[in-house]
Amino acid sequence: MIKINKISIATLAAAGLVFCSTSAFADGAPFVDQNPIVVANNEVGIAATGTLMNYQEHITPGPSDTESGWMPGFRVSASGMNSDSGLLPLVYLAVAYQYNNHSVTYHGALLNPGHTPLTDPSASVTQSASVKLGKGFNITNDLMITPYVTYNWYHWSRSSGINHEIYSQNSVGVGFMTQYSPMQDLVLGVDAAWLYGIGSGMHKPEASVASLGGPYVEYAPPGQNYHIKNRATVKVSLDADYTIAHSWHIIGGVQYMHTNFGQSPGVSSYLVDTNTGAATPLPDRYAFYEPDSSTNLFTLSLGIAYAF
Distance from chain centroid for Cα 125: 11
If we measure between CA atoms, which residue out of 2, 29, 47 comes closest to residue 240?
47
In degrees rounded to 5, what are phi and psi of residue 63? Answer: -75, 155
Return the pLDDT at 10.
47
Band (pLDDT 50/70/90 cuts) for residue 61 is confident
Does pLDDT of 11 surpass 50? no
Domains of the chain are 6-205+224-259+298-307 (2.40.128.90)
Does pLDDT of 79 surpass 90? yes
Q: Mean pLDDT lowest for which of 4-8, 58-62, 125-129, 264-268?
A: 4-8
Mean pLDDT for 204-222 is: 93
Residues 181/187, Cβ–Cβ less than 8 Å? yes
If we measure between CA atoms, which residue out of 194, 193, 185, 192 comes closest to residue 240?
185
pLDDT digits (tens, 9 = 90+) for 145-190: 999 999 999 999 999 755 899 999 999 999 999 999 999 999 999 9
pLDDT digits (tens, 9 = 90+) for 224-265: 999 999 999 999 999 999 999 989 999 999 999 999 999 999
Does pLDDT of 195 surpass 50? yes
Mean pLDDT for 57-73 is: 92
User: Where does residue 103 rank: exposed (0-12), middle (13-18), buried (19+ CB within 10 A)?
Assistant: middle
Give the separation between CA 135 and CA 82, rounded to whole angstroms: 10
Does pLDDT of 5 surpass 70? no
Q: Any residues with CB less than 8 A from the CB of 215 and at least 6 apart, and which? A: 273, 274, 275
If we measure between CA atoms, which residue out of 125, 189, 176 comes closest to residue 149?
176
